[in-house]
Amino acid sequence: MGTPAGSPAGSTADAVGVLALQGAFHAHELILRRLGVLARQVRTPDDLAAVTALVMPGGESTTMSRLLGTSGLFAPLTERIAAGLPVFGTCAGMILLATEVLDGRPDQRSFAALPITVRRNGFGRQIDSFETDLAVSGLDRPFHGVFIRAPRIVEVAPEVEVLAQYDGEAVLVRHGRVMAASFHPELGGDTRVHATFLRTFLDPIPQEN
């Protein structure tokens, strides 16, 4: 098997990473393990070098942006994404991947890997959290989406594929080797959105022994 796209030369990357600096990374890790996937928490550049794909969880996007810098992860992760590392960002993870972030802090950084414009907390604050069933492209039945301080996609470039909408607005999108959701697919125990990400971008999918 050749080196996976987005892996450093000579890499032995053999796991799906979950960015574990802040936010709901444990829930993503549990979903991946329910799928039988070998999952690894990513906190350092060495951790990043050992993964063949990455899930970026929800949390607080400005805090995550700062921690990506202090951990030394921002530069190598930028390079890996540009080289084709498959990435799935949810909620704050989607904000970090977007090319434009409205209402972000002046010092907030993003990877500009997904040609969308997002508004932080666009669906409202914590008190405005809600749940709804979503029709997701490729799934045979609705997926129950949980929206918590969810970012709103306010503009989508023509080349971006919209996989799910809520009230006519994109909430799950894919472009190149990047996928992102406004909602939290790791909550509720349904593994199908994560499985879609893995099937789309990884062959073979790293498995636990």
In angstroms, the CA 86 to CA 76 distance is 14
Q: Which residues carry out catalysis?
A: 91, 184, 186
Residue count (the chain) = 209
Residue (of 100, 101, 73) closest to 87 by Cα position:
73
In angstroms, the CA 60 to CA 71 distance is 16
In angstroms, the CA 85 to CA 206 distance is 14
- Which residue has 């032995």 as its token pair? 12
3-state secondary structure of 174: strand
Token pair for 108: 């907030």
